[in-house]
Amino acid sequence: MILYLADSSLQNFQVRKYIDFKLNILLSYHYFKNKNLDKLLYETFKLNLSNVFLDSGAFSAHTQGVEIYIDDYIEYINKYKHLFTVYSNLDVIRDFKSTYKNQLIMEQSGLNPLPVFHAGSPFTELERLCEKYDYIALGGMVSFHIKKRMPFLIKSFKIAKKYNTKYHGFGCTTYKILKSLPFFSVDSSSSTSGVRYGNLTFFEEKYGKFSQAKLGDIKSCKQHAEYFRELGFSWVDFANRDLNEYNKICAISIHNYKKIERYISRLHRQMK
């Protein structure tokens, strides 16, 4: 499984000196359409990138009342497609017919976008897409509680199995879902949530379990000294809020998402 990390500004990825592996990142056209991507990605990552996924950002644009024009999106992809491992179709929220129309427009322009299927659209449409494409993105689940997501995903994977289709899950990194369903790829914008909530979550790759340290709490951070040390840090720097460094906190979160990626990939290989 490939786990893409998403951020609307790349601020959370200023961590090169703390990371010894290449990153998989997801960029949203909606947020980066006016950026020079060649320059931005080189300055941020140098050569420390493995895969880059371009999403149209249709959901974010929709919630902000912004329209994305397909001709502009196509032009942007053509300009920077040497950077992208994969780029998605320009989906239209709550309109599967217009979404597929955009798929055809992009294909007719010479591109090969990843098709997008939204939760709530008829499963007959997913059947049709799976019959034609071997890799599809599942979206439209942001407002779904996990109890509502699981039935949708289980049925989607049953359909995929018939056609040997693989899925990308937009914003789909709930641990229970990742363990249960063999996504080919997913993305997450919560990799640096510790910065927002004052906690650092450590993933115990050997056991597939989580533990949490509270930033600024001496007892809590000391209890997790082994985890900090494993990643090249001292627990003391996190026990004192005055010593907390934003980039170090982000680096620890990214390290732990990498562990999750490895663990889930290994788990599903063993289940086959």
Residue 134 has which token pair? 């071997």
Domains within the chain, CATH numbers bracketed: 2-189 (3.20.20.105), 195-250 (no CATH)
Query: For every one of its 272 residues, what pLDDT tens digit does the chain have, with 9 covering 90 and above?
Result: 999 999 888 888 888 889 989 999 999 999 999 999 999 999 999 878 999 999 999 988 888 989 999 999 999 999 999 999 999 999 998 899 999 999 999 999 999 999 999 999 999 999 999 999 999 999 998 767 677 789 999 999 999 999 999 999 998 889 999 999 999 999 988 766 666 678 899 999 999 999 999 999 999 999 999 999 999 999 999 999 888 888 899 999 999 999 999 999 999 998 87
Q: What pLDDT is recorded for position 197? A: 72
* pLDDT for residue 243: 85
Cβ proximity of 61 and 67 under 8 Å: yes
CA-only gyration radius of the chain, Å: 19
User: 30 φ, ψ to 5°?
Assistant: -55, -40
Residue 81 is predicted with a pLDDT of 96
* pLDDT computed for residue 108 by the predictor: 98
| 184, burial (CB in 10 Å: exposed 0-12, middle 13-18, buried 19+) | middle
pLDDT of residue 130: 98
Q: Does residue 256 contact residue 202 with C-beta atoms inside 8 Å?
A: yes
CA distance 73 to 55: 10
pLDDT at 173: 87
In angstroms, the Cα distances linking 187 to 10, 27, 83, 192, 225 are: 15, 10, 18, 13, 29
- pTM equals 0.94
**Coil/strand/helix, residue 105:** helix
Nearest to 24 by CA among 42, 45, 9: 45
How high is the pLDDT of residue 51?
A: 97
User: What pLDDT does residue 192 have?
Assistant: 61
DSSP run (H or E) holding 178: helix 175-180
